[in-house]
Amino acid sequence: MSGSRLCATRASEAMTDSATRAANGASRPRDAAHSLLRWIDSGEATAARGGNASDERIDLARILPFVGMHFACLFAFVVGMSPIAILVAVIAYLVRMFAITGFYHRYFSHRSFKTSRAGQFVFGVLGAAAVQRGPLWWAAHHRHHHAWSDRKEDAHSPIQHGFLRSHMGWFLSKRGFVPDLKRVRDLLQFPELRWLDRFDILVPVLLALGMFGLGVLLENVAPHLEANGWQMLIWGFFISTVACYHGTYTINSLSHVFGRQRYRTGDSSRNNWMLALVTLGEGWHNNHHHYPSAVRQGFYWWEVDITFYLLKLLSWLGIIWDLKPVPVAARDRSPRRIHGPR
């Protein structure tokens, strides 16, 4: 190669490298901006622009609110505590855990009962208050889990990916932010659910403001309770939300590792009575993987399933109906059964 050609080639390569670095440098602020935008608008358009459905890297800009939720709990040492603040935190935990287990899981993910369109929207709002994204996102990921349980494609399998990844790392990745909406075509027909899913931050913000307002109200009308706005915000919203987070996550990270298997389900799902108490019935996970569409996950009377009891109450009130039972033959005489009722 002549000297002039060599110089020209090197100059071209240098220009290409410079252009590539410039493009990468320019893309970083855009990616960060899109991640920040998705704090407010997590719709398909911004997800497609700011995320990658196959990218397993942690989206550092996008997870800041999640990290902030945990750090906010430390302000309990600043605002102190009161019996009423702890009571409100416990109630907020139980109501929102039920919203996740009864509505996001058993209704939106598995359609184990029916309700009206208005009831469906209310269920979605209550579930969104738990700050675990929108109903379409939650149901899409959960249906994907059942399709690939404990195989490589299962994003939150502790068998495949370890404890931390299955507990929370999977949804902090860029891939985790993008749901496979083909799995929830039955829900996409409802524009109100698509809107709730897109602006999933709205309900949590309103709940946080409501908790602060409740504390201010109590400080003025019942000062003997020793509550205030900041105290109620920290305990009633942040602490109860983080507790609900990790209670829910244990079903992914622990109930495929610790407990007993009653049925051969092709995965490592297990029944764990302690997790069932923490999650209002979700700990009967091997039962659930054996017959996912059943409205109850505690198959026997001694398997405490508080979510099922509350759903049964809603059915008596006429709010929900057509609760899907677990057939006795599937429960007691399945060829996949490993051992007896206990």
Sequence ranges of the domains in the chain: 50-264
Torsion (CA) 42, 46, 52, 58 in degrees, nearest 10: -50
Say yes or no to pLDDT of 245 above 90: yes
Give the residue carrying structure tokens 């109450």: 313
Strand partners, 290: none
pLDDT at residue 112, as a whole number: 98
Query: For residue 186, which of 136, 113, 128 has the smallest C-alpha distance?
Result: 136
Largest CA distance in the chain: 91
Listing DSSP states for 225-263 in one string gives G---HHHHIIIIIIIHHHHHHHHHHHHHHTTTTSSB-SB
- Predicted TM-score (pTM) of this structure: 0.88
Q: How far is CA 158 from CA 29, 258, 265, in A?
A: 34, 11, 16
pLDDT at residue 42, as a whole number: 79
Summarize pLDDT for 83-109 with one digit per residue, the tens. Answer: 999 999 999 999 999 999 999 999 999
280: DSSP letter = T
Q: What is the mean pLDDT of the chain?
A: 88
pLDDT at residue 284, as a whole number: 98
Band of residue 174 on the pLDDT scale cut at 50, 70, 90: confident
Angle at alpha carbon of residue 164, lines to 266 and 262, rounded to 5°: 25
Summarize pLDDT for 108-139 with one digit per residue, the tens. Answer: 999 999 999 999 999 999 999 999 999 999 99
